[in-house]
Amino acid sequence: MSAENIKVSGIAGRYATALFDLASDAKQVDVVASDLATIKTAMGESADLAKLVRSPLISREDQERAMLAVLEKLGISDLVRRFVGTVAQNRRLIALADMIDTFNQLLAAERGEVIAKVVSAKKLTAKQMEALEKELKSSIGSDVAIEADVDESLIGGLVVKVGSRMVDSSIRTKLQNLKFAMKGVG
């Protein structure tokens, strides 16, 4: 399935499609994907950056200036910096994470991959990611791009979502199920 066949909608879809087209024309799709992953990681790790992106109280100019300074420090390419600058000028930074996710969907479709969203209690090692990717590829039957997140409240285990299918093997869910089962006993 190519990126042209995937349906995207809303603000995030329009911006992500525009960025994907720009990156394709400039033959910088991999660079842009890497830069977007860096930005998403930074947004997840920095409460101040997340606040900057979400706050309607910060002026358009201040948001743009701050974001461009952060992106420069992160070593983000000119194409992505200009894109984020435009997003900030248009007061759409609040949708930046969705734009990044949609860009990744377009990229996965272009490469013939399926995106698997994996949430674990701790950051997975490269070896674990490789084993998980191999297992998912064999069960799904196509290449898999993994988007990994960490949620310490899971206690242990994984939550894997591929399309509309989800497998939750987290300890948190197992404990909740046990709690519900114990309520029925008595």
How confident is the prediction for the chain on average, in pLDDT? Answer: 92
Residue 9 scores a pLDDT above 90: no
Give CA–CA dist 109/94, Å, rounded. 25
On whether the CB atoms of residues 102 and 8 are closer than 8 A, the answer is yes
Is residue 39 helix, strand or coil?
A: helix
Residue 146 scores a pLDDT above 70: yes
Residue 1 scores a pLDDT above 80: no
The better pLDDT of the pair 15, 149 is held by 15
DSSP annotation string for 96-158: HHHHHHHHHHHHHHHHTEEEEEEEESSPPPHHHHHHHHHHHHHHHSSEEEEEEEE-GGG-SSE
On whether the CB atoms of residues 53 and 62 are closer than 8 A, the answer is no
Do β-strands 143-150 and 113-120 pair in parallel, antiparallel, or remain unpaired? parallel
Q: In residues, how long is the chain?
A: 186
List domains and CATH numbers for the chain.
3-107 (1.10.520.20), 114-184 (no CATH)
pTM above 0.75, yes or no: yes
Give CA–CA dist 43/184, Å, rounded. 43
Q: What is the structure's pLDDT at 78?
A: 97
Residue 2 scores a pLDDT above 60: no
Distances, alpha carbon 149 to alpha carbons 45, 104, 154, in Å: 11, 15, 11
pLDDT digits (tens, 9 = 90+) for 70-123: 999 999 999 999 999 999 999 999 999 999 999 999 999 999 899 999 999 999
